[in-house]
């Protein structure tokens, strides 16, 4: 690709706003694109094509509220008004052998995060009970590993039914790349949903991860679906990927058809190769939340990491731009805003809390 001198040069270590290969639409073109998308999604009830998404990605900034309003209507029409609330817990933190350039838990980088072993069952249970007490229906047990070894599998298979039965929560797990047999055992062991993010487009992935491939991630996602677990497959925006690559990721997610897509925005982590990256702008974040909903109308689209620093006081706007789920409270190694603030936001928006599953 050639870059002219007035374009920002996107280095992996210091990405700015997503590069676009084409100029924004003019207002009339934007209105037409929005009308066409409305017709497709609300009247014809069909998915948008990559070309249609690429046009919508180019609406000018002043049309982003209209894009968001359409995404909200699409979410209500395809998913209903409920919002799913989830808590996540890192039960084995840091020391991961993989080199995901955004991650403070990789042992490849000198970050402040200290590696800690698998938490005791009592600690996991206490965290799950506290999560249930704030109204969550889903609890995700997360491990910083390439994939689970046999000891980890045994711990997970012990833990999942205990936490589920003690709290009534649906239990999700995120433990990296799985073998066929591991996927089957986790499904049989009561794992309701398995998280494995594609993170970014296939064409951009090698720039941010070198220790495993995008295809390996896709294989695990396919195994999760094959064995009947719900697939949670998220994205991380703001790593230096282009607009075209974001569209590419959306079409790859359309093909994969996950139950849930958590949308993360890069929160630059000290000591990682992306540690000094620019944070995604708030309006850009709203634009892409809306585009995710328009590309994936039936999915559970979850607010995940980075929303606090990216959106700041616009967090309620995301809820009316296509989001219908959120991670409540803190994240794996970083803090979120208080659960009370999120619950108040949902009450103010008159959005009921409920468990969701794939709706078509």
Partner 1 sequence: MAASDPPPTHATPEHCVSCGRLTSECPGCGRELDPPHFCATCGTRLAVLVKPTGWRGRCKVHGEVAASDR
CA distance to 111, 171, 241, per residue, from 319 (Å) = 33, 24, 24
Q: Which does 338 bind (CB under 5 to 8 A by kind): partner 1, ligand SF4, none?
A: partner 1
Nearer to partner 1, 87 or 176 (CB): 87
Shortest Cβ 9–partner 1 spacing (Å): 25
Choosing from 144, 183, 232, 290, the residue that interacts with ligand SF4 (CB under 6 A) is 144
Which span (48-56, 112-120, 243-251, 315-323) binds partner 1, by CB under 8 A? 112-120
Max Cα–Cα distance, the chain, nearest Å: 60
Positions 89 through 118 that interact with ligand SF4 (CB under 6 A): 96, 98, 100, 103, 105-106
Nearer to partner 1, 104 or 321 (CB): 104
Q: Which does 334 bind (CB under 5 to 8 A by kind): ligand SF4, partner 1, none?
A: partner 1
Choosing from 78, 102, 205, 331, the residue that interacts with partner 1 (CB under 8 A) is 331
Positions 170 through 229 that interact with ligand SF4 (CB under 6 A): 176
Nearer to ligand SF4, 136 or 175 (CB): 175
Q: Which does 127 bind (CB under 5 to 8 A by kind): ligand SF4, partner 1, none?
A: partner 1
Nearer to ligand SF4, 24 or 95 (CB): 95
Q: Which does 134 bind (CB under 5 to 8 A by kind): partner 1, ligand SF4, none?
A: partner 1
From the list 161, 222, 237, 220, the residue with the least C-alpha distance to 192 is 161
Nearer to partner 1, 42 or 355 (CB): 355
Does residue 113 touch partner 1 according to CB under 8 A? Answer: yes
Q: What angle do CA 323, 324, 325 make, to 5 degrees?
A: 105
Shortest Cβ 315–ligand SF4 spacing (Å): 24
The residues pairing with 262 across neighbouring beta strands, listed in sequence order, are 302
Which span (68-76, 119-127, 189-197, 313-321) binds partner 1, by CB under 8 A? 119-127
Choosing from 201, 223, 339, 346, the residue that interacts with partner 1 (CB under 8 A) is 339
Q: Which does 167 bind (CB under 5 to 8 A by kind): ligand SF4, partner 1, none?
A: none
User: 3-state SS of the chain?
Assistant: CCCCCCCCCCCCCCCCCCCCCCCCCCHHHHHHHHHHHHHHHHHCCCCCCHHHHHHHCCCCHHHHHHHHHHHHHHHHHHHCCCEEEEEEEEEEECCECCCCCCCCCECCCCCCCCCECCCCHHHHHHHHHHHHHCCCCEEEEEECCCCCCHHHHHHHHHHHHHHHHHHCCEEEEECCCCCHHHHHHHHHCCCCEEECCCECCCCCHHHCCCCCCHHHHHHHHHHHHHCCCEEECCEEECCCCCHHHHHHHHHHHHHHCCCEEEEEECCCCCCCCCCCCCCCCHHHHHHHHHHHHHHCCCCEEEECCCHHHHHHHHHHHHHCCCCCEEECCCCCCCCCCCHHHHHHHHHHCCCCECCCCCCC
Q: Which does 98 bind (CB under 5 to 8 A by kind): ligand SF4, partner 1, none?
A: ligand SF4
Q: Site residues (CB under 6 A) for ligand SF4?
A: 96, 98, 100, 103, 105-106, 144, 176
Q: Which residues contact partner 1 by CB under 8 A?
A: 87-90, 93, 112-114, 116, 119, 123, 126-127, 130-131, 133-134, 136, 267, 270, 308-309, 328-336, 338-339
């Amino acid at each position: 690709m050639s870059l002219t001198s007035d374009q920002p040069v996107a280095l992996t270590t210091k990405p700015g706003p997503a590069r676009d290969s084409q100029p924004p639409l003019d207002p009339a073109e934007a209105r037409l694109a929005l009308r066409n998308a409305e017709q497709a999604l609300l009247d014809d009830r069909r998915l948008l094509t990559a070309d249609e998404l690429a046009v919508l990605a180019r609406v000018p900034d002043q049309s982003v509220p209209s894009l968001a309003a359409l995404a909200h209507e699409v979410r209500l029409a395809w998913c209903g008004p409920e919002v799913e609330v989830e808590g996540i817990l890192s039960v084995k933190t840091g020391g991961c052998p993989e080199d995901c350039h955004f991650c403070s838990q990789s042992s490849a980088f000198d970050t402040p995060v200290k590696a800690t072993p698998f938490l005791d069952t009592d600690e996991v249970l206490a965290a799950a009970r506290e999560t249930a007490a704030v109204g969550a229906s889903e609890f995700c047990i997360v491990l910083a590993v390439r994939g689970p070894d046999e000891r980890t599998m045994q711990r997970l298979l012990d833990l999942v039914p205990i936490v589920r039965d003690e709290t009534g929560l649906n239990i999700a797990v995120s433990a990296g790349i799985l073998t066929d047999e591991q996927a089957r055992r986790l499904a049989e062991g009561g794992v309701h949903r398995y998280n494995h993010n594609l993170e970014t487009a296939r064409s951009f992935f090698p720039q941010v991860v070198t220790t495993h491939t995008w295809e390996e991630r896709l294989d695990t996602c396919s195994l999760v679906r094959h064995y009947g677990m719900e697939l949670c497959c998220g994205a991380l925006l703001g790593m230096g990927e282009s607009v075209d690559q974001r569209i590419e990721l959306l079409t790859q997610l359309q093909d994969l058809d996950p139950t849930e897509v958590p949308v993360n925005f890069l929160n630059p982590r000290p000591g990682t190769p992306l540690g000094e990256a620019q944070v995604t702008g708030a309006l850009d974040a709203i634009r892409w939340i809306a585009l995710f909903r328009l590309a994936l109308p039936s999915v559970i689209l979850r607010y995940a990491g980075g929303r606090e620093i990216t959106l700041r006081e616009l967090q309620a706007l995301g809820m009316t731009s296509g989001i219908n789920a959120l991670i409540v409270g803190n994240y794996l190694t970083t803090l979120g805003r208080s659960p009370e603030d999120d619950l108040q936001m949902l009450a103010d928006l008159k959005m009921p809390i409920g468990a969701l599953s794939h709706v078509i």
